[in-house]
Amino acid sequence: MANGTSLMSSFAEEINSECVIITAGDGDSARRFSVPQSLLCRKSKWFENAFKAGKTKEIALPQDDPAAVESSIFFVYNDSLIFKTGRLSIEQRSFDLKLCYNIWSFANRCLLSELQNAATHRACYVLNDSNHDNDIPTITLRECFEVTTAESPLRALIGDYCVKLFEKHDENDFHIEELEGCPGLVATLHQSEVVRRKLDARDFPRYVKPAKLAETLLMKEEEPRRDAVEWRAWGGWDEIKPTCKDCAYSSSTVRPVCSRCQRERCKCYNQTWVLLCSGCWPKL
């Protein structure tokens, strides 16, 4: 097991390694980023192969959103993405969702599975209506859907959200014309309808409990990374906070409940316990 000193020493060596240039976007909107090669290649096999044997020190990614690449580089350094918390305005909600979809597409191509997980988890938070006071515009849903490939699990999230919108609004309030002609969307909507009938009502839409339905969303299991504590200037020493088993969010309402009867106090034989928040289990 690595200790804190060796982790920090290794990181210092990586950020002082020779830098490579990534150009994201095309035309006037293109941006250039300088990134330590050693750090980038340790995170991504795709970049390791691209920069192999020192044949090139610059890669152009004209199809990628510069903001998504910028966020991805932040993740390479920090192993996290940072977004606003709480209830979001419709503008912020739309921006965050499109950014997450662009990040996921970039991470998928560059073999950054942990970054895919982070983008998926944030997209689930943004889509979850219980966290916000407004509906995501259908034009935003279409734009997000169009950046995905047929095999992307993020398509299922858009399908689930549209199914919930169909239930929530009548035809006059729902701008269905903004979704018409979007390749693959009709099939995705049918699949979401099938899933809705099969799942427990509390587990649909799937973005409500991304951790519980991780296999469906292709979120790969990550190795635990708690082999050193961290000091954060704004919060003191890092603390391990309880996380809900189903939604994977930390919350003051997270508490242990019996895995059988889903109660805090029970008389079940040979009890086993799971951590759930009040949102994932209304009985709490």
- Enter the pTM of the model: 0.80
pLDDT at 53: 62
Residue 262 shares a structural domain with residue 164: no
How does residue 135 score in pLDDT terms, banded at 50, 70 and 90?
confident
Residue 170 shares a structural domain with residue 78: yes
Residue 140 shares a structural domain with residue 110: yes
Q: Specify the CATH number for the domain of residue 49.
A: 3.30.710.10
User: Which residue range forms the structural domain that includes residue 271?
Assistant: 238-284
How does residue 220 score in pLDDT terms, banded at 50, 70 and 90?
low
pLDDT at 140: 93
Residue 91 shares a structural domain with residue 200: yes
Q: Is residue 241's pLDDT more than 90?
A: no
Q: Is residue 118's pLDDT more than 70?
A: yes
pLDDT at 56: 77
Tell me, yes or no, whether 189 lies in a domain.
yes
Residue 72 shares a structural domain with residue 177: yes
What is the total count of domains within the chain? 3
Tell me, yes or no, whether 54 lies in a domain.
yes
Tell me, yes or no, whether 193 lies in a domain.
yes
pLDDT at 34: 94
Residue 182 shares a structural domain with residue 264: no
Q: Which residues pair with 21 in a beta bridge?
A: 34, 58
Buried b (16+ CB within 10 A) or exposed e, 107-143: bbebebebbbbbbbbbbbbbbbbebbeebbebebbbb
What average pLDDT does range 230-249 have in this prediction?
61
Of 221, 247, 267, which one is at a domain's C-terminal end?
221
Residue 211 shares a structural domain with residue 141: yes
Residues 6+ apart with CB under 8 A from 81: 71, 74, 75, 103, 115, 118, 119, 122
Residue 93 shares a structural domain with residue 206: yes
Q: Is residue 284's pLDDT more than 50?
A: no
Q: Taking a C-beta distance cutoff of 8 angstroms, is the pair 269, 231 a contact?
A: no
Q: Is residue 12's pLDDT more than 60?
A: yes
Residue 206 shares a structural domain with residue 155: yes
What average pLDDT does range 172-198 have in this prediction?
83
Q: Which two tokens stand for residue 4?
A: 């804190």
Q: Taking a C-beta distance cutoff of 8 angstroms, is the pair 7, 228 a contact?
A: yes
- Name, of 129-133, 165-169, 251-255, 263-267, the range with top average pLDDT: 165-169
How does residue 6 score in pLDDT terms, banded at 50, 70 and 90?
low
Measured in whole angstroms, the distance separating CA 116 from the mean position of its chain's CA atoms is 6
pLDDT at 273: 77
Residues 6+ apart with CB under 8 A from 184: 145, 150, 155
N-to-C CA span, the chain:
38
Q: Which residue has the higher pLDDT, 201 or 12?
A: 201
Of 221, 253, 271, which one is at a domain's C-terminal end?
221
How does pLDDT run across 27-42, given as a tens digit for each residue? 999 999 999 998 898 8
Backbone angles phi, psi at 25, to 5 degrees: 85, 180
Q: Which residues pair with 31 in a beta bridge?
A: 24
Residue 160 shares a structural domain with residue 55: no
Residue 106 shares a structural domain with residue 200: yes
Tell me, yes or no, whether 5 lies in a domain.
no
Of 221, 251, 276, which one is at a domain's C-terminal end?
221
Tell me, yes or no, whether 265 lies in a domain.
yes
Q: Is residue 233's pLDDT more than 70?
A: no
